[in-house]
Structure 1
Amino acid sequence: MTESLQSPGTVGAEPELPQFPMRRECPFKEPAAYSELREREPVSRATVKVTGRPAWLVTRHADVKQVLGDPRVSSNLKLPGYPHQFHIPPELLAQVRLMMLSMDPPDHTAQRRMLIPEFTARRVREMRPRIQQIVDERIDAMLAAGGPADLVTALSLPVPSLVICELLGVPYADHAQFEEWSAAMMNHELSPAEYGAAVQALDAYLDGLVTAKEKEPGDDLISRFLEKNRVEQVADHLDVVTMARLMLVGGHETTANMISLGVLALLEHPGLSEELRADPSLLPGAIEELLRTFSISDSGTARVALEDIEVGGVTIPAGDGVLALNGAANHDASVFPDPGVIDLHRKEARSHLAFGFGIHQCIGANLARVELEVVYGTLLQRIPGLKLAVPADQLRYKDDAMVYGVYELPVTW
């Protein structure tokens, strides 16, 4: 029997809704509230902390997959019920050019089709030697400088930044500036003016870059997209700028944070490191398990219902915002027994939803997996004595950001 609850946008809704996002008490586990909701009320309402607006939270694996695969929900952040996690003034929202991540078919389908060849398993395998070279060079520099070192600035951030810059044709010399803008755009707690300034500054930079490539194309993703677009005509100039922003920010923020957290897990669980050094064939499965464990972008799957939909026996009314929490789904014990344990042999690990699900599943998943495999594998072999330089409970975790991680990871050897 379907239970029809009062819409979260309805005046007179319960005043004491839980607030989202919810803080992680332990970096290796989901917020305690997720497990409580999954057991007690797997499709429930909450208030988005930054905006004060209500939305539905979906916490069970099967229900999250259903929402993310349902054509009756939209990713369009301009729709009235969309559960924004930033203060975006209406005048700025009206000017926003939708990223591919926020598009629905057919626009999303057309742009994604143009980009898929850049991220196939074969294409990424061809990139692997260069990724290995970048990782080796960064580790060489870290060892030459001596410990202690901050792994975030020495390795975690430079590796994916260099890779995505070379893929897109963005000058790495400008990395400090665009990394600053990118970090600002991930921060829930920025004021509307600060958030808008970061977006506009990055777009102005990329506008100049795209304009230059329109005149003199190179051997890079943006140039190849522009060349295809002359025939396909699926995007205008500003669409290409917005696509470049999505690729640049998404291509380094997520992987950089995942590198740091994965290394933290290996250092805090030395038995895992020993097992991986003894049997490197376990590394691909270990990466899936680490992706499942951390689910670093679990608040990134925001949607809005286009019509009434039933999820987990509950009717979500048309126009209501929905947050399909892949972080909660990835700790659903009905799919992942004993989910709080990092198990390198977990057969179900690849069923995780850390890269999302459905038409918006992360297009760069193959690239991220290879980067993680090269970084973890190389670190394990080249610096077997790597250890934290400070206790883990002294680390600053990114509880204020769209992508979870650590601000610094001091290590020594």
Structure 2
Amino acid sequence: MEPLVYPMPRSCPMRPSDQYVELRAGAPLAKITLPSGRTAWLITRYEHVRGFLANPNVTTNRLHPNFPFYLPLSRKLREDVNASLMSLDPPEHTVLTRMVIPEFTHKRAQTLRPRVQKIVDEHITTMLNGDRPADLVEALCRPVASQVICEVIGVPYHDRELFHSTSKVMASRTATSNERDEADATLRGYLSDLVEEKAKEAEEPGAVPGDHLIGRVIAKNQEKRVLGLEDIAALCVSLLSAGHETTANVMSLGTVLLLENPEQLAAIRADPSRTPGAVEEILRHTSITDPSGLRVALADIAVGDMVVKKGDAVVVSTAAANWDDSVFARPEKLDFDRDAGQQLAFGHGIHRCVAQNLARVEIEIVFNTLFARIPGLRLAAPVEELSFKDGALLYGIHTLPVTW
């Protein structure tokens, strides 16, 4: 049987491919061909996706000869990406995670609430004072996500256009290999210079670590040299690249879902304490990272009644898993009465998104504040006319015209 062409097209912009329904009902593994030309097994059932992501006998090493690259990547870019948190295996992954986890704990995210609230309020005020219709992506979603992650990491927000443009190229399915290499080199060069500058400042007599991730990681590393400056820069690349685009996409898609489901919107407007649960359901429903798990088996691994052989490439779809009706009844329904806490939008296992607590806080504050301050908010164009990111690795909306 010929491998299926991946990714599978969506029949509706607000839901994953209908082909996932057929695949979940069939064999636990399906053979696919990726845009890179590489073949892999695809896993779509919730229990198998969750189990495989937590299996210690897999690798995320981009330099493995069988790694299922989604897009063609040069050797240099593979080496660069392989230094990031998402690509490392233990024990290197464990060392880096221990350095960065304190920056993104639930407690730390809660202490950032006042600052996130202030940022959200400022951007909404600017939007209200501007023209109508407004593009919610550019007026609120992207700048909030960008400014928050910049401040957390320690990147000057006025340089945001650099990482916006480079991240856009890196996430594009249509960018050439040379364009990706250039974008990667530009972003890494910028962050390497920034980390080196802050490291020199930290070595000055009486220096106090900056109140940001870079400053604190440099200070920890001075106590016990476990990372090189290039490792810290690589960490910043992965956090910055993923930290603004993913959160912004969930905010924009979630706004569409809320406006298209007024009864669910009314529920959180009447009781904002329900918004954290609503965020989990919106994360499940939108599932913007697809594919979300690229792995190579390091041993034979049973998946249902089939076996992934040692050395086989595997793609796991958390989007398909989050719409598995054996776990989430009527998955197409946005339902804030549903317990969606077990959704896999942030992944699972050791490579689960490290910044998930911060993302939840940002999304919750945006939804509560946006609809409290602009109760008459509405779409300024039909959903079918919106410009969706069909050509990007992270699904979302290019522009979201709204009025009030």
With normalisation by structure 1, the TM-score equals: 0.94
> Of the candidates 135, 146, 150, which is equivalent to residue 150 of structure 1?
135
In 2, Cα distance between equivalents of 1:316 and 1:389 = 48
Asked if 1:121 is matched to 2:106, the reply is: yes
Percent identity over paired residues? 46
Q: CA deviation at 1:313?
A: 1.4
Q: Output one character per residue of 1:308-359: Cα deviation in whole Å (capped at 9) or x when no partner.
A: 1111111111111111110011011111011111101002x11101111111
- Cα contact 1:28–1:340 (8 A) shared by 2: no
SS in 1 for 2:175: coil
- Tell me: CA distance 1:95–1:295, structure 2 relative to 1, closer, same or farther (3 Å): closer
The unaligned stretches of length 5 or more in structure 1 are 1-13
1:32 maps to: 18
2:365 maps to: 374
Q: CA deviation at 1:17?
A: 1.5
SS in 2 for 1:167: helix
Q: Output one character per residue of 1:236-262: Cα deviation in whole Å (capped at 9) or x when no partner.
A: 121111101011111111000000000
1:266 maps to: 258
> Of the candidates 141, 152, 165, which is equivalent to residue 167 of structure 1?
152
In 1, Cα distance between equivalents of 2:307 and 2:82 = 31
1:346 maps to: 338
Q: CA deviation at 1:162?
A: 0.4
Runs of 4+ with >6 A deviation: none
SS in 2 for 1:229: helix
- Cα contact 2:49–2:321 (8 A) shared by 1: yes
In 1, Cα distance between equivalents of 2:173 and 2:62 = 16
| Larger displacement relative to structure 2 (294-303 or 327-336) | 294-303
1:359 maps to: 350
SS in 2 for 1:112: helix
Q: What pairs with 1:304-343 in structure 2 (closer than 5 Å)?
A: 304-343=296-335
Kindly provide the amino acid, as one letter, of the partner of residue 382 in structure 2. Answer: P
- Cα contact 1:298–1:354 (8 A) shared by 2: no
- Tell me: CA distance 1:126–1:47, structure 2 relative to 1, closer, same or farther (3 Å): same
1:7 maps to: none
SS in 1 for 2:399: coil
Asked if 1:177 is matched to 2:162, the reply is: yes
In 2, Cα distance between equivalents of 1:145 and 1:26 = 32
2:205 maps to: none
Asked if 1:69 is matched to 2:54, the reply is: yes
Q: CA deviation at 1:229?
A: 1.4
The unaligned stretches of length 5 or more in structure 2 are 203-209
Aligned-residue CA RMSD in angstroms?
A: 1.2
| Larger displacement relative to structure 2 (229-238 or 333-342) | 229-238
- Tell me: CA distance 1:91–1:126, structure 2 relative to 1, closer, same or farther (3 Å): closer
- Tell me: CA distance 1:394–1:172, structure 2 relative to 1, closer, same or farther (3 Å): same
- Cα contact 1:69–1:357 (8 A) shared by 2: yes
2:206 maps to: none
In 1, Cα distance between equivalents of 2:294 and 2:149 = 25
- Tell me: CA distance 1:366–1:392, structure 2 relative to 1, closer, same or farther (3 Å): same
In 2, Cα distance between equivalents of 1:93 and 1:178 = 19
In 1, Cα distance between equivalents of 2:77 and 2:148 = 31
Kindly provide the amino acid, as one letter, of the partner of residue 31 in structure 1. Answer: S
1:11 maps to: none
Asked if 1:131 is matched to 2:123, the reply is: no
Asked if 1:389 is matched to 2:374, the reply is: no
In 2, Cα distance between equivalents of 1:175 and 1:102 = 25
Q: CA deviation at 1:24?
A: 2.0
SS in 2 for 1:78: coil
Asked if 1:230 is matched to 2:216, the reply is: no
SS in 2 for 1:362: coil
SS in 2 for 1:385: coil
Kindly provide the amino acid, as one letter, of the partner of residue 241 in structure 1. Answer: A
1:4 maps to: none
SS in 2 for 1:407: strand
Q: CA deviation at 1:233?
A: 2.4
- Cα contact 2:28–2:303 (8 A) shared by 1: no
In 2, Cα distance between equivalents of 1:225 and 1:86 = 32
- Cα contact 1:97–1:242 (8 A) shared by 2: no
SS in 2 for 1:402: coil
- Cα contact 1:300–1:402 (8 A) shared by 2: no
In 2, Cα distance between equivalents of 1:324 and 1:293 = 17
With normalisation by structure 2, the TM-score equals: 0.96
1:302 maps to: 294
Q: CA deviation at 1:89?
A: 2.2
> Of the candidates 87, 93, 103, which is equivalent to residue 88 of structure 2?
103
Q: What pairs with 1:16-31 in structure 2 (closer than 5 Å)?
A: 16-31=2-17
Kindly provide the amino acid, as one letter, of the partner of residue 172 in structure 1. Answer: Y
Q: CA deviation at 1:90?
A: 3.3
Q: Output one character per residue of 1:53-109: Cα deviation in whole Å (capped at 9) or x when no partner.
A: 100100011100111000111111111111111211235435655201100000001
In 1, Cα distance between equivalents of 2:256 and 2:354 = 26
1:200 maps to: 185
